[in-house]
Structure 1
Amino acid sequence: MADSTPDGVERRLPTDEARELLALTRDIARREIAPRAAEEEAAGHFPRELFALLSRSGLLGLPYDPAYGGGGQPYEVYLQVLEELAAARLTVGLGVSVHSLSCHALARYGTEEQRATHLPAMLGGGLLGAYCLSEPSAGSDAAALRTRAVRSPGEGGSSGEGGDWVIDGTKAWITHGGIADFCTVMARTGDAGARGITAFLVPGDAPGLSAAPPERKMGMKGSPTAQLHFDGVRVPDERRLGAEGQGFAIALDALDSGRLGIAACAVGLGRAALDEAVGYAKERRQFGRPIADFQGLRFLLADMATGVEAGRALYLEAARLRDEGRPFGRIAAMAKLFCTDAAMRITTDAVQVLGGYGYTADFPAERYLREAKMLQIVEGTNQIQRVVIARHLVGPESR
């Protein structure tokens, strides 16, 4: 079953419902997201009301079980929705991707009681999530995190099963930091290394949880990124996700899927830059004719379009593997690597097509360029993606 994109390219979609879902997404993007994007990004405004609309429209829980308020959509469809949102405004597309990432641990590793208690509000109740893994001294080496959770003494002054955990430490580079309603937090509960980490679901308004001022970023100014400080934050054991010591494996499992979200967002951003460049090239005249007539520029546009299509094909291949229950981590790393590098090239070329106008804030090309750089860094830098891919090919490095 096929569906035509705004640029006339037909996509393969698995169901009529998926086609209708993409049509709904494009309508919201066209009417509600794109017209406000430039002004709100320049002002550093986070569009919380748009996320409420997306929640009411069923777009915040697409890849999750309908029994808990999710959309029951395969990743093949969910990622194409992300692409549409990111093409309209990256802050929105990336925000949905991060929210979905934040729900992953509970949806996959929570108990039946935990899922029934928390997931409906997270998926369709207007809540917004944050994913808390990185720290000031633990970015690419996430297993070196220092935020610690210890059991508080129970009745009689003893510590043991059940009861509360007390979390202390600082998380860094947290998307939605300071505005999220809930946080999936990885904290150390045991010895050093990956096996000593446990996952927790922490309310965004928990006493002792505070946010630093948002980072001053070169792009994505409408999406708040901040450090989160945990100062004696008490979390009942009922909010521990998975077994003690399983947190790092949970985090990596979530990141495999999250990288596909970043890849889809990168394709959406690249597509927006391509559309801007093609439109400008058709209208701008030099030497008595449209600049789109000049071969050098036509070849540039052709390379940009090829990057968009190749990126989409790669992230969809990984999504279909995931939907079939087959290993997809290697392809997910490739998709994140290729799509974000392609977005960087495409947005750079879009600025070049627009010439001096591309360097001004009067056109969106310069914003796209600034935003693309971020995608090469988040959820595992592209250097880390190469490490992951190489390990799949030739095994781990010698020690």
Structure 2
Amino acid sequence: MTWLGSRTHAEWLTAETDALLAFARSSRVPNGFGYLDADGAVDPGQPAELWVTARMTHSFALGTMLGRPGYGPLADHGVAALRGAFADGEHGGWFSAVALEGDGVPDDTKAAYAHGFVILAGASAAAAGRPGGRALLDEALAVSERFFWRDDEGMAVESWDRAFGVCEDYRGVNANMHTVEAYLAAADVTGDDVWLDRAVRITRRVLDDFARANDWRIPEHFSADWEPLLDYNRDEPAHPFRPYGATVGHSLEWARLVLHAREALRRRGLDAETWMLEAARELFDRAVADGWAVDGADGFVYTVDFAGEPVVRERMHWVVCEGIGAAAALEAVTGEVRYEERYRQWWDYAAEHLIEAPGRWRHELSAENGPSAGTWSGKPDIYHALQATLIPRLPLAPALAPAVAAGLVDNRHPMP
């Protein structure tokens, strides 16, 4: 039997989508959305993070486009916070963190990673027709164009100080990966293919150059001249955003994103470059070989070194979510049964180990699949899990929000 494309599985995914959205409602704070603890309450010790508020805004915009009452106002609240409390009216761009309420700014740096999610939030709010959504998208793209995109490199820089006067020497692939996601959505919402072109340029360099040269393990960390720093953070291997070594989940995420980019090119009548499907296959296979159940228990290890040996063995929920998305995308392109089999296996794992109740996902487990919080405490947001419930039900292009807006849910394959 198959799950992908079946009505009964789509019904289960729908129920989990709704449960995740309901769980996230409690994240609302005056200045956007807060970081949720293990019980699903806002952690008062954490500020309002830009990446959390932007990802929640994106999620609630999807919710309202799915026809669920109550999520449009939450998306509007997120847009207002992004155009208000988080926006730097003096220097432009968005603060990395603000107080849950009031005027405090505990982190005034300007980071490409979080700015990519502001683009995504704006694109999703615009696709949903929410007030201020298109203005937010246009503002975010202008900031990205001016400060983060480097046309001569075909990549985005990592971060700046508040005044956009000092650029960090470090360059990171994680920030560029989410810039690709954001640019693909922006291309569909604006109709401007410059964003698709830039998404493809980043993807080509990261995968057809960096990953291919390292046996399809993606170097994450680079100098300002894009020289790989393979020992970066060796002394802090479980860092949540810059871990040492190769990050298994990012290989799966890139495997999906390159197929989104490939399909976006095809939809526009452009040639899909031959390396794109090859890269998706190789990244997927490398991630499975290096990361899945390699130490005696099911689950993906977080990171490996460049010989493929596990470094951080904790299991992160988002890695399984990206595996689910990548398997669904590869099955859609190739029709190969092995991807469907992995897809079912990883949902079974999620149901057994990660989903403690509908909509309540444990974000980190130990190597034995017990409780852990070494890298991620609590249940910060629903972005990865929510997308895992939607990607299998949608075509690879347009991007998620424009596809939902166009009524393409469950038009991935003919439904038997």
Which TM-score tier does this pair reach, normalised by the shorter chain? Answer: under 0.3
Structure in which a larger fraction of residues adopt strand: 1
For CA contacts below 8 A with separation 6 or more, give which structure has more relative contact order: 2
- The structure with the larger Rg is 1
